[in-house]
Amino acid sequence: MTAERLRVLVTRRWPEAAEKHLAERYDVTLNAEDAPLSPAQLAQAFDAYDIICPTVSDKIDAGVIGSAPRRTRLLANFGVGFDHIDIAACKTTNIAVTNTPGVLTDATADLAMALILTAARRTGEGERELRDGRWSGWRPTHLMGRSLSGKTLGLVGFGRIAQATAHRAHHGFGMNILYYSRSAAAQDIEKKLGAKRMASLEELLHKSDMVSLHVPGGAETSNMIGSREIAAMKSGAILVNTARGGVIDHEALAVALKSGALSAAGLDVYPEEPIVPASLLGLENVVLLPHLGSATEETREAMGLRAAANVDAFASGSPLPDHIA
């Protein structure tokens, strides 16, 4: 099969440069209206297209993938996370899966720091107060937050994004860095970032003023931060999540925020997007963002072109640069 005859489905609207790249090379169906596809539409696509380019908004489970033989041979995912794709079912049906690692590291680390700052300095509360016409003027004890300098930031997971966050926090804000992960980072990386590995998650939570989550989604990390883990955190600590929504038990988080056990939280991801847990919506001390971790023009374009590079490799019969399974 030649590249010109490959049928490619792009499930959501992509940056123009990435869509143009694919349209010039393949028989491409684009989603100009950017409307999410239904499970039925996704299932039908597996018999109509050689390559599907999904995003985190597409839940591609075993029911959608179905049984072999299917026409689709590659899922070129737009994003680094792939917990929305049933990898086991893809292996069974001989469908390759790729992602877009590396290119969104800096943007997501920037947003993690933005959430830490917003939660610590209470700027979201301040903006809402001002826009609502409730600000009565400057006063010495108004919306007092917390400084970052000298505080301890605990990172759960220590991959690319966590390390980039550590760099910003340590060198930019003078924070002390602790981390918890299955394996230790190289000593030169720890030295460069001023980072120390903790033996357990509980130890990290107990010693950190602020905690930022950087672990993949999936069964192993589902509700990784629940009532027990929150109880292990410092009184008045701050919790930030730019990883996957399912990592936190949001009902337990809401209880801790209401009681003051945690002073604040900052969230960019949720278990059932675009639904945000109702228990959080009325709370002033939680920053809620609509999954903006990689949302810069430069990053989203790079993600699209990285996904397109995997499509090109598949079309030419070359090894897939970002092959997951």
Report helix, strand or coil for 288: strand
The active-site residue out of 244, 250, 300, 306 is 244
The dihedral sign for the CA sequence 262, 264, 266, 271? positive
Partners of 195 in the β-ladder = 177
Across the beta sheet with 152-156, the strand order is 195-197, 176-180, 152-156, 210-213, 237-241, 262-267, 286-288
Catalytic status, residue 273: yes
The active-site residue out of 16, 127, 273, 298 is 273
Catalytic status, residue 220: no
The CA-based angle 56-247-36, given to 5 degrees, is: 20
Query: Rg (Cα) of the chain, in Å, rounded?
Result: 21
Q: How many helices (H) and strands (E) does the chain have?
A: 14, 12
Spatial neighbors of 290 by CB under 8 A, at least 6 apart, are: 268, 274
The active-site residue out of 7, 121, 206, 291 is 291
Please choose, from the candidates 290, 248, 228, the residue with its C-alpha nearest in 3D space to the C-alpha of residue 156. 248
Please choose, from the candidates 47, 49, 43, the residue with its C-alpha nearest in 3D space to the C-alpha of residue 61. 43
Please choose, from the candidates 201, 160, 155, 199, the residue with its C-alpha nearest in 3D space to the C-alpha of residue 178. 155
Exposure of 144 in the CB half-sphere (CA atoms within 13 A): 3
Catalytic status, residue 291: yes
Cis peptide before 140 (omega within 30 of 0): no
Which residues carry out catalysis?
A: 244, 273, 291
